């Protein structure tokens, strides 16, 4: 059965989504945003006090990269925490009263399932591109944000045959475009390296909101560090990790979602993508503090 302190197979996550989304009709609902390349349902969870009026929102996705298993584990943890602390935790109560939080538990479901069944180190989607026998496109290189145009289909960071060639990317990009007036923050969860990144990665140029985003990223990192002392580095993607084009955070920022952050969760390389399940709980607990810090800042600036 499903466990918040284990890495759940796609089948277990899928049944968890069905159960949790009907567990509390006052606080959570689900909606389909389409299907993956292999036909798996992309179900978006909507957290927040039910309202007849549209509320400002935060969008968070996990599992863009298949092998980064701690990421979907965090999204599941976040949903559980939100529902179980609403009414007792004043900040979570305020957040869900004032805003909606959209959570996509696993973005790249085909890839995630493939890492469970075949190749634990797979990163990309599982789509086929004509003219090559190599599979998959990097879903974090496929967005219309400085898109790379020239790249190798067999590369781990293949940008795709065109912008939004990946149906998973198109499904989420469409949702962001449809709701961009209300979406105030975009959070995308990855591993590993222990980083809080913000735009831009596709250029070394500083974002218009660079100083504010840096302040928020540093505040989130220090909130996280307060629990177990885990050290995160904050900064714009290009200079902090590597320059790279076609990423989701840059795209969200460029369509007007100001508070756009990429998290790289534990660890710094000892286990890397193979983070032991024993670290799921501490990782999720400390990451909650960072996410809540950002959410509070977003609320302050509504
Ligand atoms: N815009 C971006 N933001 C963050 C990253 C880092 C992640 C780390 Se797994 C990636 O390589 O896709 C990469 C890009 Cl292109
Ligand atoms: Zn498995
Ligand atoms: Zn990643
Ligand atoms: Zn990563
Ligand atoms: Zn603030």
| Per-residue pLDDT tens digits for 191-240 | 999 999 999 999 999 999 999 999 999 999 999 999 999 999 999 999 99
Catalytic residue among 68, 81, 164, 264: 264
ipTM score? 0.96
Q: How many Å lie between the centroid of ligand 1 and the Cα of residue 196?
A: 11
pLDDT in tens, the chain (302 residues): 999 999 999 999 999 999 999 999 999 999 999 999 999 999 999 999 999 999 999 999 999 999 999 999 999 999 999 999 999 999 999 999 999 999 999 999 999 999 999 999 999 999 999 999 999 999 999 999 999 988 999 999 999 999 999 999 999 999 999 999 999 999 999 999 999 999 999 999 999 999 999 999 999 999 999 999 999 999 999 999 999 999 999 999 999 999 999 999 999 999 999 999 999 999 999 999 999 999 999 999 99
Q: Ligand 1: list residues with CB < 6 Å.
A: 65, 140, 190, 197, 201, 237, 241, 244, 246-247, 249-250, 262, 264
Using only C-alpha atoms, what is the Rg of the chain? 18
Q: How many Å lie between the centroid of ligand 4 and the Cα of residue 258?
A: 22
**If you ran DSSP here, which 8-state letter would residue 89 be given?**
S
To test ligand 1's pocket by mutation, which of 140, 237, 240 has the most ligand atoms within 8 angstroms of CB?
Answer: 140
Among all bound ligands, the one having the nearest atom to the CA of 13 is 2
- Shortest CA distance to 67 belongs to which of 128, 140, 14, 12? 140
Residue 152 known to be catalytic = no
Q: Please check whether residue 290 is in contact with residue 259, taking contact to mean a CB–CB distance below 8 angstroms.
A: no
Please give the pLDDT value at position 65.
99
| Atom from ligand 1 closest to the CA of residue 264 | 8
Q: What is the mean pLDDT of the chain?
A: 98
In our burial notation (b when 16+ CB lie closer than 10 A, e otherwise), range 214-228 reads: bebbbbbbebbbeee
Question: pTM here?
Answer: 0.98
Q: How many Å lie between the centroid of ligand 1 and the Cα of residue 263?
A: 9
């Amino acid at each position: 059965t499903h466990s918040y302190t284990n890495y759940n197979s796609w089948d277990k996550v899928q049944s968890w989504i069905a159960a949790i989304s009907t567990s509390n009709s006052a606080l959570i609902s689900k909606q389909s945003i389409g299907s993956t390349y292999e036909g798996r349902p992309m179900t978006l969870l909507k957290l927040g006090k039910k309202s007849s009026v549209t509320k400002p929102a935060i969008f968070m996705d996990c599992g863009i990269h298949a092998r980064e298993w701690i990421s979907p584990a965090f999204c599941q943890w976040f949903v559980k925490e939100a529902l179980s602390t609403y009414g007792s935790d004043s900040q979570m109560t305020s957040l869900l009263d004032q805003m909606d939080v959209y959570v996509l538990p696993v973005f790249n479901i085909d890839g995630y399932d493939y890492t469970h069944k075949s190749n634990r180190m797979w990163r990309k989607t599982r789509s086929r591109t004509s003219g090559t026998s190599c599979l998959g496109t990097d879903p974090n290189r496929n967005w219309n944000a400085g898109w790379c145009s020239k790249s190798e289909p067999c590369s781990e960071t293949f940008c795709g045959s065109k912008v939004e060639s990946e149906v998973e990317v198109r499904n989420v990009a469409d949702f962001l475009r449809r709701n961009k007036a209300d979406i105030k923050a975009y959070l995308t969860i990855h591993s590993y390296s222990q980083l809080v990144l913000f735009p831009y990665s596709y250029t070394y140029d500083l974002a218009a909101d660079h100083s504010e985003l840096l302040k928020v990223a540093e505040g989130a990192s220090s909130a996280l560090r307060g629990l177990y002392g885990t050290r995160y580095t904050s900064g714009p993607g290009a200079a902090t990790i590597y320059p790279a084009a076609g990423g989701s955070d840059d795209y969200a920022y460029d369509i007007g979602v100001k508070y756009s952050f990429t998290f790289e969760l534990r660890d710094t390389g000892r286990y890397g993508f193979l983070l032991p399940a024993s670290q799921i709980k501490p990782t999720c607990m400390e990451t909650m503090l960072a996410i809540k810090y950002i959410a509070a800042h977003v609320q302050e600036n509504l």
